[in-house]
Chains A and B, each alone.
Chain A
Amino acid sequence: MSYEVIDARGLLCPLPVIKAQNKAKQLQPGDTLEIICTDPGAQHDIPAWCRIHGHKVIEIQQDEESDDFSVIVEI
């Protein structure tokens, strides 16, 4: 099982979703994808994208010192 990280900081939605979607094509079921974002919209859009495509949001981690947050997804 691989663990991949995408840096989508500074990108406005839907670009974080597009990055996640394109990366997911290279991953296998059970792999983990972490998407680091700053646009609050991604907290809604990435879970919506996951629900549509059958991926699972494991958790959303908020960075305590910045606006960064990570959405961690099981493919």
Chain B
Amino acid sequence: MSIRKAVALISGGLDSMLAAKVILDQGVQVEGLNFYTGFCHSGHTSAIRSSQRNKEKRNDALWVAEQLGIKLHIIDSVEEYKDVLTNPQFGYGKNLNPCLDCKVFMVKKAKQWMDENGFDFIITGEVIGQRPKSQRKINMPLVSQRSGADDRLLRPLCAKNLPISLPEREGWVNREKLFDFKGRDRNPQFELAEQLGIESYAQPAGGCCVLTDENYSRKLADMWQNRGEKKYELDDIILLKVGRHLRPRPHFKMIIGRDEGENKFLEGYRKRFQHFRITSHTGPLILIEGKLLDDDLNFAARIAARFSAGRLADEVTVTLTSLQGETLQLQVNPLPVAEIQQGWYL
């Protein structure tokens, strides 16, 4: 009998790692797929923020693949994912996380990859009840059907709670050696990891996606509301991860670097935005999204000065650079902290 081949969705977290390991240990050839949508939390922020400079800058999916000794293919899904996020057929979760549409999308892409590369079935680390929306038992068959994977989709960690799949029926994998995990309790996964000799693993399931984060979702919702349409480019969604975001007036937002790493990162965008620099004191680079009106200049400069080392000084010099590169110097009194309204923070 020829060796069967499975393509595994690898997020970089523990569950997908366990699922792939369980199937590898049954003698199946496994290769991994990881989808880059722009919404993964760990990679960008650790690359940008100075405070995280000492953190290991590893890509968790690549790391998992190396631990398992499998190949990993990273699929650039930025463009296709826009429709998943802006027009989710099954709606959003608690925040702007379109988890069910996302799962259907990824399994559908995996099915396409499977067909193109002569693989036999797809495995995921899904566990019934682990996630409130995409991993409900009622939605498991929906993902199989909508993706077109049908019974070639195997969830090794909860297979015993689901109808038998093709790989089990055909004897490509032994159903008896699969699992019946369910619910949000992660102890079964931790115990299995120990049994399989997996000592180190990344974030908890679902923890990587910034769309499950309330703060990030609020900034994204604000961006869409102020643009009047649900559209974005990759730079937009990356900038939402960087800096403090303040909207003091409906028609403009200030993106304020929080440390050297973020300021350096924002420097790369300065030619695309009106921006403030604090020239009399040390301070952040501040990008302006939207348009400052003449009436706003002094007010916005006072806010900018508030976030500089001159925040307690009587006067701070702030330089505004326009999109055309013209500069305007403003001498301002920093806005007192009591006048920075919490409601401005996104």
Whether, in the assembled complex, A10 has its beta carbon less than 8 Å from a beta carbon of chain B, the answer is yes
Is A41 engaged at the interface, CB distance under 8 Å to the other chain? yes
* B6-45 interface code vs A (CB 8 A; 1 in, 0 out): 0000000000000000000000000000101000000110
B58 interface residue, CB < 8 Å from A?
A: yes
Question: Would A10 and B43 count as touching, CB distance under 8 A?
Answer: no
> Does B57 contact A10, Cβ atoms closer than 8 Å?
no
Interface assignment of B72: CB less than 8 Å from any CB of chain A? yes
A44 touches B56 (CB 8 A): yes
* A interface with B by C-beta (< 8 Å): 10, 12-15, 17-18, 21-22, 39-41, 43-45, 48-49, 51-53
Chain B interface residue count, CB cutoff 8 Å, equals 25
Interface residues of B (CB under 8 A from A): 34, 36, 43-44, 46-48, 56-59, 61-63, 65-66, 70-76, 238, 268
Partner of B57, one of A17, A41, A49: A41
Known: A10-B268, A12-B47. A52 touches B65 (CB 8 A): yes
A53 to B32, CA, bound (A): 12
Q: Which residues of B lie under 8 Å from residue A22 when comparing CB positions?
A: 76
Asked if residues B58 and A14 are in contact (CB atoms below 8 Å), the reply is: no
Residues of chain A lying within 8 A (CB to CB) of residue B62: 14, 17, 45, 48-49, 52
Contact residues in A for B36 (Cβ distance below 8 Å): 14-15, 18
**Interface pair B47/A41, CB less than 8 Å apart:** yes
> Do A13 and B66 have beta carbons less than 8 Å apart?
no
Q: Which residues of chain A have C-beta atoms less than 8 A from B72's C-beta?
A: 49, 52
Of the A-B pairs whose beta carbons lie under 8 Å apart in the complex, a sample of 12, sorted by A's number, is A12-B43, A12-B48, A13-B43, A14-B36, A14-B61, A15-B76, A18-B36, A22-B76, A40-B47, A45-B58, A45-B62, A48-B59
Shortest Cβ distance from residue A22 to the other chain B in the assembled complex, whole angstroms? 8
Query: Which A-B residue pairs are the 6 nearest by beta carbons?
Result: A41-B57, A48-B62, A41-B47, A45-B59, A13-B43, A18-B76
**Are A14 and B71 CB-contacts (below 8 A) given A41-B59, A45-B62, A48-B66?**
no
Determine which residue in A14, A15, A43 has the highest number of CB atoms from chain B within 10 A of its CB, and name it. A14
**Contact in complex: A17, B71 (CB < 8 Å):** no
**Min CB–CB distance A33 → chain B (angstroms):** 16
Residue of B nearest to A67 (CB): B264
Instruction: Name the B residues within 8 Å of A45 (CB-CB).
Output: 57-59, 62
CB distance from A67 to the nearest CB of B (A): 9
Question: In the assembled complex, which residues on chain A have CB atoms less than 8 Å from the CB atom of B238?
Answer: 12
A69 to B62, CA, bound (A): 21
Q: What is the bound-complex CA distance between A33 and B34, given in angstroms?
A: 22
CA distance A26 to B59 in the complex (A): 24
Distance, CA A22 to CA B75, complexed state (A): 9
CA distance A33 to B58 in the complex (A): 21
Extra 4 A-B pairs, beta carbons < 8 Å, given A13-B44, A17-B59: A13-B43, A14-B61, A18-B74, A39-B47
**Chain B residue contacts of A41, Cβ below 8 A:** 43, 46-47, 57-59
Residues in B neighbouring A48, C-beta threshold 8 A: 58-59, 62-63, 66
Return B182 CB to nearest CB of chain A, in Å: 32
Report how far A45 CA is from B56 CA in the complex, Å: 11
CB < 8 Å neighbour of A13 from B56, B59, B76: B59
Q: Considering the complex, give the chain A residue whose CB is closest to the CB of B75.
A: A18
> Given known contacts A21-B73, A52-B66, A52-B72, is B268 in contact with A14 (CB within 8 Å)?
no
B47 near A51: Cβ-Cβ < 8 Å: no
Residues of B contacting A14 in the complex (Cβ-Cβ under 8 angstroms): 34, 36, 43, 59, 61-62, 74
Q: In the complex, are the beta carbons of B71 and A53 less than 8 A apart?
A: yes
A48–B34 Cα distance when bound, in Å, is 14
**A12 and B44 contacting across the interface, CB-CB below 8 Å:** yes
B69 (CB) vs chain A CBs: closest residue? A52
